[in-house]
Structure 1
Amino acid sequence: MGLLQGATYEAYRSELLKRYKHLLRSLGNKLSPEKTKLVRDAFDMSARAHEGTVRKSGEPYIFHPLAVAEIAVSELGLGVTSVVCALLHDVVEDTDITLEDIEHRFGPKITSIIDGLTKISTVFEIVEKDQSIQAENFKKILLTLGEDLRVILIKLCDRLHNMRTLGAVSENTKLKIASETLFIYAPLAYRLGLNAIKTEMEDIALKFTNLAMYHEISEKLAETKNTRQRYIKEFIDPLKIELDKSGLHIVEIKGRPKSIYSIYQKMNKQQIPFEEVYDAFAIRVVVESPLYLEKTDCWKVYSIISDMYRSHTNRLRDWLSHPKSNGYSALHTTVLGPKRRWIEVQIRSKRMEDIAERGLAAHWRYKAGANQSISTPQDTAFENWLDSVKETLSNSDLSAMDLVSEFRSSLLGEEIHVFTPKGDVKGLPIGSTALDFAFSIHTEIGNRTIGAKVNNKLVSIKSVLKNGDIVEILTTIKDRVTRDWLEVVTTASAKSKIREALKAERTQKANQGKLLVERLFRKHQLNFNDSNIKKLISHFKYPLSAEFFHTVAEGQIRLNRELLFSIITKKILPLETIESPKIDTGNPRLKAKKNIAHIIIGEDHELPYALSKCCNPLPGDPIFGFVTVGEGIKIHRTTCPGATRLMSQYGYRIVSAGWQNDGYQKSFETSIAVKGIDDIGIVSRITDIISRDMEVNMKSINILSNEDGTFGGRIELMIYDLLHLEQLIEKIKATHRYIQVKRED
């Protein structure tokens, strides 16, 4: 319902009032007269503060906070306090209104949330020499998780609306914001249980980072819609009859396609076309049950389904007793449906369904309306995850970049559940080791771990755990922490605890070194004071006394009487030390690179540039430039595997780039992966097409036959441009019905 820039003031006021009334209707029975006045005051303050300001889309700016507030209440189910904060979330940063003004009118609770939102900036510029503001921004976002979670929930609503209106900004900004969203906001929404928001963010981000793939998947979903609906009906109709007989109160049973982004991920990970994604949709069964009967009723539904359709024994996922750390709880099973097709079925209660879509917000609402003495598995899952977040954030030694990197790893991936010998359950990310498990039990146990028994078999601390393992940790009396352990563990929590232990050990060593130096001073009747210590530290060129004392304790600096007197009394005497390695802090010289005449750089064009080897861009590929340290500008494809990380963490070093037709052809390196059903002469036909028909030079070829009757391999080529490559791929595909060809880099 956008307003045109030339619209009259009356039309603007009418539209504004219409949207405000819609917000009030969405709040519904949450509003008392006092709360209605609170929302009205926040709306009036925001409207006055943003009056005359427009967004890049041309809409009045006030429509944005109204939209954020609407998302908060309609899509997350948040209350009046969150709506007030959503309406005011930009006023301190963008207008003359101060936190004092807000506290005077709305009190300390709302002011605290607004302060948290204000600290989360969205400016793209350099903070320090080697960090972009996005990393500091993410760090501030993560810090709010340890305070009031409404800050991050409102921030996610804000980001979702920005994604919905992303079409109005420049292409470069679209790429940066979309990449940033995929890098941290969507995983964060997932970890908070906000599945609907996470899914929409990912789909929109894919649209702006890989438009061709987005259109391909969405078009194929549309093309197969009727076939898919017929199949779902064929599966559901007999199931409904059996469920009705059971007496269970089934609220919903329907089929729904997986998100575009999740299908894209599956195609990308498994290197398969859309047609081979067998679980492009799933069946969902939702049962209405009282809390104490939820698990029982879900298992009853499972029993009915598995009686009708053969279940896949390795594809049962029980998140009823042990929910994911984001609170997600359900039964997932894969069954062999009509036409011998495997199909995923998700079984949940109505409460679980609401929490699956609205996450923490729905969880709080159910807690508020239920008996507080009744604890659900979601309570433990949420609390354990938040505790691990706070523990990670408490590590002050981590830079913003390191913190974001470690925290992001805790947001992604599925979980396993392993057991202690007493039967207690621990949830850990897939890929966790025995040492991760040890630290999840207790810091002291982790610090003293020497090995483990997994299912009663001795294993090392590096052993990767599997779902259902029974793990017993073996310890020694003394701490055994080493820096190598940081490479053994995968969880942010364990890494944080190891760093703390290393820091404590270093401090202890420094104290030992200080004591050694003090004894030496007293032995030779020298004053152990700040002045003499500074002379000593300055002589050895250490920035901090703790580092110097630590080096002494390690035995890397040997002090004696002659050396001390030469330093303290300025007498030149022989120096006896073991020197530390020297660090070259000078700026590296730029290596000269031969410019590629086909590329135009938007800015910093005086720097040399080269095509990045990680993705080998071809003319016609959407590209961007990344300003490196010492190697000029590297040109990447926007779909490069590392593009999301670069744009998210180093936005200030991204420059626009494009291809220029300079009238002559130049070959570029790329590679293709081929696989298919093996046949006599198939490789010969492929190479003939490449070298004879398409006149393409092959740098290398590596194709092998497999025992299962298939072949596969990789061919490195020299190609003119993207169109040239696409024509070659289509020509190879046409040689055989069962052959797959795709660009690999």
Structure 2
Amino acid sequence: MIDKTIFGYGDDTYMLKERLLEKTSYLTSEDQAEIARAYDYAEKAHEGQFRRSGEPYIIHPVEVTIILTELSMDRETLIAGLLHDVVEDTGVTLEEIGQEFGDTIAHLVDGVTKLKNLKFRSSAENQAENFRKMFLAMAKDDRVIICKLADRLHNLRTLQHMPEEKQKKKAKETLEIFAPLAHRLGISKIKWEMEDLSLRYLDSPQYYRIVSLMKKKRAERERLVQEIIGVLSEKLAEQNVEVESISGRPKHIYSIYRKMKSQHKQFNEIFDLLAIRVIVRETSSCYAALGLVHTIWKPMPGRFKDYIAMPKPNDYQSLHTTVLGPRGEPVEVQIRTVKMHRTAEYGIAAHWIYKELGNGNTQRKKYWINKMVEEQEGRDAQEFVEGVKMDWFTDTVFVFTPKTDVIELPNGACPLDFAYRIHTEIGNKCIGAMVNDKIVPLDYKLKTGDKVHIITSKHSYGPSKDWIKIVGTSHARHKIRSWFKNQVKEDNFLKGKEMLEKQILQTRPSVNLTDILSSKNLQQVIQKFKSQDVNELYSGIAFSVYSVQSVADYLLELAGFEVDMVEKIVKNPPKKSKSKIGIHVKGIDNVLVRLSRCCNPVPGESIGGFITRGRGVTVHRLDCPNLSAVEPERLVDVDWEEPDGDGKKSYQVDIEVAGLDRNGLLNEVLRVVENTRAACYAVNAKVQPKGFAHINLTVAIHNRNHLDSLVDRVKGVRDVHSVRRIIQ
């Protein structure tokens, strides 16, 4: 038992347990007693275990818990920190932890425990599943990820004891997952240290070079800091601005490294290596201090950011400005209140935030965490993790909806990403976009501050395959692919159903299809042919997995027909008198019938009609607003004499094609129309600002299937973004 020996702490006057309890002095004596009990439990569980450094294992969970105390975490989180490895590395079970310390702590421990006893195809899949488990647990209680961040930070601090290959793997993983998570949660104190430690193992020469160069400039930097603090303190006192503190800090090593890499500069070309932080007491004092800073030193254009008026999603608030300092060098000045500073350092981990949200079993949720998990639904673990990294852990832009709500998107996102972030159907029905009240192409790169309005149409034919190359988020890409996947399923379903109905009628022309295809009969067919459901049955018929003849014969047998005795030759049904446009008006003969120009119905679509004054019967699509406005007494039942069209008559339809203008676009669209055997009666093409093209076509088609085939072919043309049917 470790009760008298200290391992590597330098001060041997404190035992390990006492050192930990001293750090929890902000808690009640009852809480501290529980933490002491948890320490004893963890110490006993890890007895006889050692880390690679040779130190007793108990030191690791204690150090993790001490990091959590520096974030002022609550009792439950600290106990979870002490116990976070007992399930993974000892014989203790989650059930035992739940019985001993409660279900909440058991949930926190489970969230940071790796999956065991499961077989994975690869280590990458194993790691991805562990990350997904962690993210899902985080959505229920974000203290899970705070425990995990503390665990990862201490592992980084002791990474020198690991093999080089594992050092690089852990460091890379930290920069891709854990540091961005810390940033998202607003815990800059952990984020900066993680980034610097990771860089040390990923690019050691550059890390130590920057450290060495910064040491050389330390004396000069300290003189500059004192000079700026002196001037600012004097001026702020003259204006009676109450200041809590003014301090200077050098830029973090990793931020300098990133700037050198992204801007292709040497260390001596990076001038703004210093940040001055002014902490005031009131929000109004922030703006007063900003005015004084700009009065004393000249501000650099485009380098001012007001995160007080528009906080970051992680609740970060501060004023940032860069000025030319006393010696003409750029100096960043950050101005915030005491409360804002605490949030900037500790984010949602700050103890006072948990007090505001409530203790006990209150679920501490953040909008972006739930949105992140929700958007990755339906993906395997590796897709899930890649999607999270792409959509949530990259540089971001902040844009506005027409109602001025702020939407956060990754850098490089376009209006389609915005549309799918709002709602899947908004994305699927998108036919155009306006940014800052101007029409823009769908591949326009959104910038912070843009106001975005998505133009939709219920007559849109859905996404174009070209959109997959345009969008910048995995969420939008997944939704587009899902739409096409569902379309294929629906098309196969309808095709198989049509084939089966046709086969039944060829064998028995007079049967009632509704009776033959009852749910009871279909269920027996599904069992006989070992299909999963009706969807799979019809799709299987379309792909010839199941014989349409066999399925039809079995259904007729179930209905009581002697299939073998059925006459296979189809008798011609009595002919109906057909109107010139192929419409039959029920109960009325020899009446003038015309198709409305507002919605241009075609065979295969549901239709309705109404009696006009002196012009016979006008036929509309059932979803046409003009039909719903007609008095009920004037409505009549109409249907197509050939439900899917006989392939001889033609019906005019207006469609609009939108996309990026380029040489040959119109010719390619017209060639597709010609190849689908659709006559083109009119063409009107125009180019909007910024090269966005609109092509209006009037085409003659035979039926709805013909129209759908034409639309699908046009949507496949390169640079075509959307196709919609024009309803007047």
Q: Please report the TM-score for the alignment, with normalisation by the length of structure 1.
A: 0.66
2:429 aligns with: 448
CA shift for structure 1 position 8 = 9.5
Structure 1 CA distance for aligned equivalents of residues 266 and 83 of structure 2: 46
Once the two structures are superposed, what CA deviation does each residue of 1:504-542 show, in whole Å capped at 9, x if it has no partner?
54554454345335425644479976786699899xxxx
Matched, 1:339 2:336: no
Gaps of 5+ in 1: 1-6, 373-378, 570-745
1:182 aligns with: 175
Further displaced range: 315-324 or 206-215: 315-324
2:352 aligns with: 365
1:233 aligns with: 226
The residue identity in structure 1 corresponding to 2:418 is: F
Once the two structures are superposed, what CA deviation does each residue of 1:311-348 show, in whole Å capped at 9, x if it has no partner?
12211112112222222221111112222222221122
Matched, 1:351 2:333: no
CA shift for structure 1 position 86 = 0.7
1:19 aligns with: 16
1:116 aligns with: 111
CA shift for structure 1 position 172 = 1.7
Once the two structures are superposed, what CA deviation does each residue of 1:458-489 show, in whole Å capped at 9, x if it has no partner?
11222111222222221101462345434333
CA shift for structure 1 position 79 = 1.0
Superposed counterparts of 1:359-508, under 5 Å = 359-362=347-350, 365-366=352-353, 368-369=355-356, 383-393=366-376, 395-396=377-378, 398-478=379-459, 480-495=462-477, 497-498=479-480, 501-502=483-484, 505=487, 508=490
The residue identity in structure 1 corresponding to 2:304 is: L
Which of the numbers 195, 198, 204 marks the counterpart of 1:211?
A: 204
Once the two structures are superposed, what CA deviation does each residue of 1:613-654 show, in whole Å capped at 9, x if it has no partner?
xxxxxxxxxxxxxxxxxxxxxxxxxxxxxxxxxxxxxxxxxx
The residue identity in structure 1 corresponding to 2:301 is: T
What is the aligned-residue identity percentage? Answer: 36
Structure 1 CA distance for aligned equivalents of residues 2 and 423 of structure 2: 65
**Preserved CA contact (<8 Å) 2:499 2:548:** no
Which of the numbers 154, 160, 163 marks the counterpart of 1:167?
A: 160
**Preserved CA contact (<8 Å) 2:540 2:546:** no
**Preserved CA contact (<8 Å) 1:126 1:132:** no
1:283 aligns with: 276
The residue identity in structure 2 corresponding to 1:155 is: K
Give the direction of change, closer, same or farther, for the CA distance of 1:560–1:88 in structure 2 (3 Å limit): closer
Further displaced range: 54-63 or 276-285: 276-285
Matched, 1:63 2:59: yes
The residue identity in structure 1 corresponding to 2:93 is: T
Which of the numbers 494, 508, 514 marks the counterpart of 1:512?
A: 494
Which of the numbers 28, 44, 47 marks the counterpart of 1:48?
A: 44
Structure 2 CA distance for aligned equivalents of residues 370 and 117 of structure 1: 23
1:73 aligns with: 69
Structure 2 CA distance for aligned equivalents of residues 109 and 530 of structure 1: 46
Give the direction of change, closer, same or farther, for the CA distance of 1:11–1:453 in structure 2 (3 Å limit): closer
Once the two structures are superposed, what CA deviation does each residue of 1:114-165 show, in whole Å capped at 9, x if it has no partner?
22222467x9x98215844222222222222211111111011001010001
The residue identity in structure 1 corresponding to 2:275 is: A
1:321 aligns with: 309
**Preserved CA contact (<8 Å) 2:225 2:248:** yes
Which of the numbers 235, 259, 264 marks the counterpart of 2:257?
A: 264
Give the direction of change, closer, same or farther, for the CA distance of 1:96–1:316 in structure 2 (3 Å limit): same
Gaps of 5+ in 2: 509-515, 558-728
Larger radius of gyration: 2
1:711 aligns with: none
Once the two structures are superposed, what CA deviation does each residue of 1:488-512 show, in whole Å capped at 9, x if it has no partner?
3323544455455555545544543
CA shift for structure 1 position 567 = 13
The residue identity in structure 2 corresponding to 1:22 is: R
Once the two structures are superposed, what CA deviation does each residue of 1:202-245 show, in whole Å capped at 9, x if it has no partner?
11111111111111000001111111122222333212211122
Give the direction of change, closer, same or farther, for the CA distance of 1:202–1:552 in structure 2 (3 Å limit): farther
Once the two structures are superposed, what CA deviation does each residue of 1:7-61 show, in whole Å capped at 9, x if it has no partner?
998536997972211221211131233x233212211110101011100011100
Structure 2 CA distance for aligned equivalents of residues 131 and 23 of structure 1: 36
The residue identity in structure 2 corresponding to 1:254 is: S
Further displaced range: 486-495 or 50-59: 486-495
Aligned length: 538
1:740 aligns with: none
**Preserved CA contact (<8 Å) 1:256 1:281:** yes
Give the direction of change, closer, same or farther, for the CA distance of 1:437–1:210 in structure 2 (3 Å limit): same
CA shift for structure 1 position 83 = 0.6
1:31 aligns with: 28
Structure 1 CA distance for aligned equivalents of residues 336 and 358 of structure 2: 21
Q: SS at 2:139's partner residue? A: coil
Structure 1 CA distance for aligned equivalents of residues 330 and 269 of structure 2: 12
Structure 2 CA distance for aligned equivalents of residues 77 and 342 of structure 1: 35
2:85 aligns with: 90
Give the direction of change, closer, same or farther, for the CA distance of 1:558–1:351 in structure 2 (3 Å limit): same
Give the direction of change, closer, same or farther, for the CA distance of 1:23–1:470 in structure 2 (3 Å limit): same
Structure 2 CA distance for aligned equivalents of residues 56 and 192 of structure 1: 31
Give the direction of change, closer, same or farther, for the CA distance of 1:552–1:8 in structure 2 (3 Å limit): closer
**Preserved CA contact (<8 Å) 2:443 2:470:** yes
Structure 1 CA distance for aligned equivalents of residues 287 and 539 of structure 2: 60
Structure 2 CA distance for aligned equivalents of residues 9 and 425 of structure 1: 54
The residue identity in structure 1 corresponding to 2:22 is: R
Once the two structures are superposed, what CA deviation does each residue of 1:380-407 show, in whole Å capped at 9, x if it has no partner?
xx844223213224x12x1222111110
Further displaced range: 53-62 or 350-359: 350-359
Further displaced range: 450-459 or 46-55: 450-459
Q: SS at 1:418's partner residue? A: strand
Structure 1 CA distance for aligned equivalents of residues 269 and 533 of structure 2: 60
Structure 2 CA distance for aligned equivalents of residues 228 and 567 of structure 1: 89
Further displaced range: 57-66 or 24-33: 24-33
Give the direction of change, closer, same or farther, for the CA distance of 1:437–1:562 in structure 2 (3 Å limit): closer
Structure 1 CA distance for aligned equivalents of residues 339 and 134 of structure 2: 28
Superposed counterparts of 1:585-664, under 5 Å = none
Structure 1 CA distance for aligned equivalents of residues 442 and 484 of structure 2: 18
Q: SS at 1:321's partner residue? A: coil
Which of the numbers 145, 149, 153 marks the counterpart of 1:156?
A: 149
Structure 2 CA distance for aligned equivalents of residues 186 and 550 of structure 1: 47
Further displaced range: 101-110 or 420-429: 420-429
Once the two structures are superposed, what CA deviation does each residue of 1:421-444 show, in whole Å capped at 9, x if it has no partner?
344433333222112222333333
CA shift for structure 1 position 174 = 1.2
Give the direction of change, closer, same or farther, for the CA distance of 1:53–1:302 in structure 2 (3 Å limit): same
Structure 1 CA distance for aligned equivalents of residues 539 and 221 of structure 2: 67
Give the direction of change, closer, same or farther, for the CA distance of 1:90–1:345 in structure 2 (3 Å limit): same
Give the direction of change, closer, same or farther, for the CA distance of 1:471–1:158 in structure 2 (3 Å limit): same
**Preserved CA contact (<8 Å) 2:541 2:547:** no
Structure 1 CA distance for aligned equivalents of residues 152 and 545 of structure 2: 57
**Preserved CA contact (<8 Å) 2:526 2:533:** no
CA shift for structure 1 position 414 = 3.5
